[in-house]
């Protein structure tokens, strides 16, 4: 079939793998940061809620709880107000679009925590310093909590802000309580160490985010089960080859060489990216995965490494959808070959350059069947082994047995009536 030299449709340029990796990394980090910020908000709200309850109890029962005659209601009122503010942060972080304001919140919230600790320290000093100077241990605990919270926010900037506020607050508390210099210095180093631990936590979380982004990106190249094995047990992936019963789907664009000769390389790439993305999406919708793109061709696998009991059915449904939607998504006719049989799935190549692929006569036969579609003037051909595994028993048109290059025996081929009435356009020798 000859393609006319018409202007090629321009498709939006596909993002490069580097940009996809960066986007996936940023998204993974943003999701991790938001999730951690929510956890901090829950912890803060829980701590302040308990503190508010205790402050109210102390106000009503001062003699019983702290052995003083009376306590000013200032602390209880203050605790209740900051508990309400903490609840408002929690509500904001639970909103669906919270990630859009995450960078701003990760500055505002630590500053709020720092001011909160400073006010808490001031009130505690006014009320309890004369009778309970050991309350400064609670202030030190709050400062440590403030310092480590920056690391959970993932960003280095948040860690620096939180640690600085924690150190400043404890210096303020040490001055108010007239704490011994040596004890103050020891406590400051402890808080600084806690902040440094938070920074290390942030680094670890960022690294995990980058790994998750890499995992998401690799799923665009390999089946999910292979990606998970590569990340969790890479030695098993390299050593184990898996024998599977599968259906192979091979596609090819008719007349692509002539179609693309008037296009510049960037236009060719954009066009192929659009077409192959359309094909891959359909394959994945039906439980298959793309083993490789071969220029304007594609080789897809149904049934390995994740087994499918109805792999032939799924492959045929994917092929039918490709032919239906290809009339609007693709500027050229598509040829499809389907064949079912055994393959071996595993890593092929040498150290430093490995490829996860499928190998076997089944792959070769599917490719030969796709080539035969041109001779039979039909967009789809399937082997008898695929036809016999179809559970829905669609109406098939038997085309007889044809020789296949490299095989001693011929192979029985079929097509579907709805894709056209095939008539042999030329003598079909072995292909």
Instruction: Find, among 364, 362, 349, 361, the residue nearest to 237 by Cα.
Output: 349
Low-confidence winner among 23-37, 79-93, 107-121, 402-416 (lowest mean pLDDT): 23-37
**Domain ranges within the chain, ordered by starting residue:** 17-218, 241-419
User: CA-to-CA distance for 249 and 172, rounded, in angstroms?
Assistant: 71
Q: Which residues contact 340 (CB under 8 A, 6 or more apart)?
A: 245, 246, 247, 248, 311, 312, 315, 362, 383, 385, 386, 389
User: CA-to-CA distance for 429 and 431, rounded, in angstroms?
Assistant: 6
Q: What is the pLDDT of residues 309-357, one digit of tens each?
A: 899 999 999 999 999 998 888 888 999 999 999 999 877 766 656 677 8
User: CA-to-CA distance for 183 and 197, rounded, in angstroms?
Assistant: 21
Q: Are strands 380-383 and 334-350 parallel, antiparallel or unpaired?
A: parallel
Q: Is 162 exposed, middle or buried (0-12, 13-18, 19+ CB in 10 A)?
A: buried
In the predicted model, what is the mean pLDDT of the chain? Answer: 80
Q: Which residues contact 374 (CB under 8 A, 6 or more apart)?
A: 1, 254, 335
Q: Which residues pair with 297 in a beta bridge?
A: 252, 294
Residue 403 has pLDDT above 90, yes or no: no
Residue 6's pLDDT is 43
CATH pick for 241-419 out of 1.10.357.140, 3.30.70.1230, 3.40.50.2000, 1.10.530.10: 3.30.70.1230
Q: Which residues contact 158 (CB under 8 A, 6 or more apart)?
A: 106, 107, 110, 150, 151, 202
Q: What's this model's pTM, rounded to 2 decimal places?
A: 0.57
Q: What is the pLDDT of residues 272-321, one digit of tens each?
A: 888 888 898 999 899 888 888 888 899 999 988 778 889 999 999 999 99
Print the SS3 string covering 208-238.
HHHHHHHHHHHCCCCCHHHHHHHHHCHHHHH
């Amino acid at each position: 079939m000859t393609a006319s030299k018409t202007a090629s449709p321009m498709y939006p340029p596909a993002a490069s793998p580097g940009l996809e990796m960066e986007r996936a990394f940023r998204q993974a980090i943003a999701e991790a940061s938001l999730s951690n910020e929510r956890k901090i908000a829950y912890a803060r709200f829980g701590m302040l809620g308990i503190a508010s309850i205790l402050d109210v109890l102390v106000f009503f029962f001062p003699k019983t709880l702290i052995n003083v005659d009376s306590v000013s209601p200032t602390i209880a009122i203050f605790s209740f107000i900051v508990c309400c503010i903490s609840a408002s942060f929690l509500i904001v972080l639970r909103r669906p679009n919270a990630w859009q304001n995450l960078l701003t919140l990760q500055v505002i919230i630590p500053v709020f925590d720092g001011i909160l600790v400073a006010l808490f320290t001031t009130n505690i000093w006014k009320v309890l310093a004369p009778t309970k100077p050991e309350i400064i241990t609670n202030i030190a605990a709050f400062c440590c909590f403030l310092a480590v919270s920056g690391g959970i926010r993932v960003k280095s900037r948040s860690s620096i802000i939180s640690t600085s506020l924690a150190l400043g607050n404890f210096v303020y508390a040490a001055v108010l309580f007239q704490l011994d210099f040596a004890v103050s210095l020891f406590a400051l180093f402890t808080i600084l160490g806690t902040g440094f631990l938070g920074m290390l936590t942030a680094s670890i979380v960022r690294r995990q985010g980058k790994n998750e982004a890499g995992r998401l990106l690799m799923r665009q190249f390999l089946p999910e089960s292979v990606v998970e094995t590569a990340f969790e047990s890479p030695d098993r992936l390299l050593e184990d080859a898996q024998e599977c019963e599968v259906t192979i789907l091979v596609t090819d664009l008719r007349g692509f060489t002539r179609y693309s000769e008037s296009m510049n390389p960037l236009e060719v790439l954009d066009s192929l990216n659009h077409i192959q993305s359309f094909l891959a999406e359909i394959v994945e919708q039906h439980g298959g995965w793309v083993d490789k793109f071969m220029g304007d061709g594609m080789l897809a696998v149904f049934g390995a490494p994740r087994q499918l009991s109805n792999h032939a059915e799924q492959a045929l449904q994917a092929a039918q959808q490709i032919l239906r939607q290809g009339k609007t998504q693709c500027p050229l006719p598509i040829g499809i070959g389907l064949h079912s049989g055994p393959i071996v799935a595993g890593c092929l190549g040498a150290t430093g350059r490995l490829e996860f692929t499928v190998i076997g006569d089944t792959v070769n036969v599917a490719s030969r069947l796709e080539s035969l579609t041109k001779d039979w003037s039909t967009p789809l051909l399937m082997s008898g082994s695929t036809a016999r595994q179809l559970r829905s028993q669609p109406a098939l048109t038997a085309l007889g047995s044809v020789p296949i290059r490299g095989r001693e025996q011929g192979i029985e081929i079929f097509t579907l009536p709805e894709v056209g009435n095939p008539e042999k356009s030329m003598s079909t020798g072995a292909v």
